[in-house]
Amino acid sequence: SLVVLQMLFNLTTKEILYTRARSAGAFSNGYSKRPCFYILPSFVSPGMKAFLAADEWQRQIGPDIEFYKAAHKSLDRTIDALGRDEVNRRLEDLRAALQLASKNCEGRVLTMCSAAGAVIKPRNTTCYYWGEGCDHDCIDELEL
């Protein structure tokens, strides 16, 4: 869907490029005075699995599932209108660019939290604002 957005708005690959900033097993910042916190890896306990499979939950999320199906169907129609082969070609271009950005930015992105969970003062990060856009320098210098 990111590639479809790129095509609909006539964006370059660089304009939609990103790196993974925060993920499970790492530290992330909260609001301005909040210390860094650890992002727990996700898991589904046996109790959660039973709850999610229960009829009551399935009825409750029924409208959400229908909305998702409609959105997916609309996306498929848009891909067909744009040309599935062209969308797939641009998707491969994006995947290659994502790998290049990941390699180029490795060890260079300084967020609000160190790998050990210590707060890094904003003036010592590579971020635009708080923990956002920390990868802009290493992405901007890429030649795509």
In this predicted model, what pLDDT tens digit does every residue of 79-108 receive, in sequence order? 999 999 999 999 999 999 999 999 998 888
Residues listed for the chain: 144
Given a cut of 50, the residues of the chain with pLDDT beneath it are none
What's the pLDDT score for residue 114? 84
pTM, two decimal places: 0.79
What's the pLDDT score for residue 2? 96
Could you write out the three-class secondary structure of the chain?
CHHHHHHHCCCCHHHHCCCCCCCCCCEECCCCCCCCEECCCCCCCHHHHHHHHCHHHHHHCHHHHHHHHHHHHHHHHHHHHHCHHHHHHHHHHHHHHHHHHHHHHCCCCCCCECCCCCECCHHHCCCCECCECCCHHHHHCCCC
| Closest C-alpha among 93, 85, 88 to residue 142 | 93
Q: What is the distance between the alpha carbons of residues 15 and 13, in angstroms, rounded to a whole number?
A: 5
Q: What is the distance between the alpha carbons of residues 1 and 3, in angstroms, rounded to a whole number?
A: 5
What's the pLDDT score for residue 24? 79
Q: What is the distance between the alpha carbons of residues 2 and 120, in angstroms, rounded to a whole number?
A: 31
What's the pLDDT score for residue 32? 66
